[in-house]
A and B are shown apart, each in its own frame.
Chain A
Amino acid sequence: MIVQIIDFFRDRMKMTVRLCYGVLALLVVIDIIPGLTGKEHHAHTWVEHIPGWWSVFGFIACTLIILISKWFGHTFVMTREDFYDD
């Protein structure tokens, strides 16, 4: 059953991707509409009042982690697998 579900979405890749973009857009819309999430009471800092703040934060966080780690790894940190063998 799990395989069928996965294959169902894999066979309809375009639809799946559109669906995902739809969900992302919906999340931002929910965040922007005032009064819907109770942001006015719960936010701790002023930046959180920026519309779509956590979306931007999530995306930038992910990008930064990938780019900085890869840069760090390619300085001298990543090396051949038998480095410790000799």
Chain B
Amino acid sequence: MIDFWIHPALIMIVGALLLPFFAKGPLRIPYLIAVPLVSFVNVLLMQKGTFGIVQFMDWTLTFGRVDRLSHVFGFIMTLMCLIGTIYGLHVKQAGQHMAAWLYVAGSLGVLYCGDYVVLFLFWELMAFTSVFLIWYRGRKESLNAGYRYLLVHTAGGLALLAGFVLRYQATGGDIFFGPVGVDSPTLSTYLIMIGFLLNAAVPPFHSWLPEAYGEASVTGSVFMCAFTTKTAVYALARGFAGMDILVPMGVIMALYGVVYAVLENDSRRLLAYHIISQVGYMVAGVGIGTQMAINGAAAHAFAHILYKGLLFMGCGSVLYMTGQSKFTELGGLYKKMPRAFLYTLIGGLSISAFPLFSGFVSKSMIVAAGFSEHIYWAAFLLTLASAGTFLHTGLKVPYFIWFGKNNCAKETWDRAAEPPKNMEVAMIIASFLCIFIGCYTPFLYDLLPYEVNYDPYTAYHLSESMQILLFTALGFFLFIKKLAPEAKIAIDLDIIYRKGAKLFMWFARKPVQTVDDAVSEAYNDGGLVPLMTTARFASWFDWHGIDGVVDGIARTVRNIGGGLRKVQSGQLQYSIYYAVSFVALVIAAYVLA
């Protein structure tokens, strides 16, 4: 076999850069399909081994570590890129396709990299390209949401970088990205882990996700829901398998997403909260760390990318056709969009782990790994969360969009119809794969990193799953009045950086004002009797002392407020510029030292 290897990310990058030349004319659609298809076929034909080794100054950089773990992720990422691009074929803006492809390239680069330098490079590429998928929605809110997304991810990237730099120093120049040594974690281990956890949307680092994915463009969110979090799951599986703390974190995630999904009125934000919940299973799987659990995490990521993509495509098609994504603006659409309903339902049954659908063969592996390691509390709580998954994604989403009370305005109702052909083709492919994976288990199980000795289709597991699911459905219909959507938003931790500046201003102004008032009052009360000298002294003291202090505080507050305001508006590029320059300086210092 000839030692010839092309990085699938390179295909996507070159494809994206050449895309403007094909943006108009008859070659547009063939080109848009060909590039992700070539990338996918490239991954299919790829040999295992280490490729793409580049000497860069003192570092030996590895771009192509192809083993079973990176292969299963690379397989599904390139496949999803193809499906997502088909879903977005009608989108005329070349920029949106370019952003999506470069974003995929970032993800693929992380999957196949062998060291922290390349990892960081592609990690940042993901953040800086995916933000355009939010901005292309074109609303004022999207612009703000995009800046916040970028800011949060820059912070996460810096944590990762700091961890890497500390590690580099402590190990005497080791840049290899592999198991980090979870038995004796140091500060650098935790910093790297925080960088990964932020991208995996583990609370308290999660609130960027529902905001960004709810606000992204219709095709943008189909891409985003697949890549960022699952790339982080891969990175965690590679570096942190068996890290105990990830088990409770994953379980909290799984439940957290479920609770917020109850409160959510926007269908795509609800799906986004369920990403947090589902990634919770994967994070817990990585924390358990046995071969079965890592298999489960990889299998669940694989299945999740397909069914979550399908769900975002289904709800996205409703948004695309009607212009609405809130349950309080939708309802009763089954006569208008029956096929979109069917695809979304297939996605819903897959995420809920219904027998014969993809989630059934993947999610149960993680829970079973929990049981066989005797971590019963985690296994039971994850099972409980799966009831919540069916409750929302399997029942609430289809019910309140296609059935239930018809809240549609006349315009919404008139616009509602089946989506364009390309969207349907993408949904058909994803639906087929969801069912295929669920029915024919060897397809997925043979791709997994370790050998699989697990059969999901035992009589007991079928009986257990059906009981949990259908009695959850009973609960849903009994409590349906309680679940009726409310036209409200739920405050999440993003309040810290969305209202933080305002909160700070209020806090600082209030005490300053009170002190100022109190001083004036005391001065007035004693104002009549005192002698002229005292008065003059008091006047001098007031002028130079108190006012000086008060004005000084007020000025400081104003300056800090101004600084915070800059961070929250278009001035963000300066912050990023400073951060990147700082990073460059640190790297330069280490290279030259």
30 A-B residue pairs with CB within 8 Å: A3-B334, A3-B335, A23-B470, A27-B470, A37-B459, A37-B460, A44-B379, A45-B376, A52-B467, A54-B471, A55-B467, A55-B468, A55-B471, A58-B387, A59-B474, A61-B387, A61-B388, A62-B476, A65-B384, A66-B391, A66-B479, A68-B259, A69-B260, A69-B262, A73-B262, A73-B490, A78-B486, A78-B491, A79-B488, A83-B489
A62-74 CB contact bits vs B (8 Å, 1 = yes)?
A: 1111111110110
Judge whether B338 and A58 touch: CB under 8 Å: no
Q: Which residues of A contact B461 (CB under 8 A)?
A: 42
Q: Which residues of B contact A81 (CB under 8 A)?
A: 487-489
How far apart sit A12 and B212, CA to CA, in the bound complex (Å)? 42
Which residue of the partner chain A has the closest CB to B374? Answer: A44
Minimum CB–CB distance from A9 to chain B (whole Å) comes to 11
B476-512 CB contact bits vs A (8 Å, 1 = yes)?
A: 1001001100111111000000110000000000000
Whether B383 is near chain A, meaning CB under 8 Å from some CB there, is: yes
- Of B384, B467, B491, which one neighbours A31 at CB under 8 angstroms? B467
Whether A15 is near chain B, meaning CB under 8 Å from some CB there, is: no
Size of the A side of the interface (Cβ < 8 Å), in residues, is 46
Which residue of the partner chain B has the closest CB to A57? Answer: B468
Whether B263 is near chain A, meaning CB under 8 Å from some CB there, is: yes
Whether B464 is near chain A, meaning CB under 8 Å from some CB there, is: yes
Minimum CB–CB distance from B393 to chain A (whole Å) comes to 13
Minimum CB–CB distance from B405 to chain A (whole Å) comes to 15
Whether B458 is near chain A, meaning CB under 8 Å from some CB there, is: yes
Minimum CB–CB distance from A67 to chain B (whole Å) comes to 8
- Of B464, B483, B489, which one neighbours A66 at CB under 8 angstroms? B483
Whether B258 is near chain A, meaning CB under 8 Å from some CB there, is: yes
Residues of B at under 8 Å CB distance from A? 258-260, 262-263, 334-335, 338-339, 341-342, 371-372, 376, 379, 383-384, 387-388, 391, 458-464, 466-476, 479, 482-483, 486-491, 498-499
Judge whether A58 and B489 touch: CB under 8 Å: no
How far apart sit A69 and B498, CA to CA, in the bound complex (Å)? 23
- Of B341, B387, B463, B499, which one neighbours A62 at CB under 8 angstroms? B387
Judge whether B263 and A65 touch: CB under 8 Å: no
Judge whether A66 and B467 touch: CB under 8 Å: no
Minimum CB–CB distance from B194 to chain A (whole Å) comes to 25
Which residue of the partner chain A has the closest CB to B387? Answer: A61
Judge whether B371 and A65 touch: CB under 8 Å: no
- Of A42, A44, A62, which one neighbours B391 at CB under 8 angstroms? A62
Which residue of the partner chain A has the closest CB to B468? Answer: A58
Whether A43 is near chain B, meaning CB under 8 Å from some CB there, is: yes
A2-23 CB contact bits vs B (8 Å, 1 = yes)?
A: 1100100000000000001001
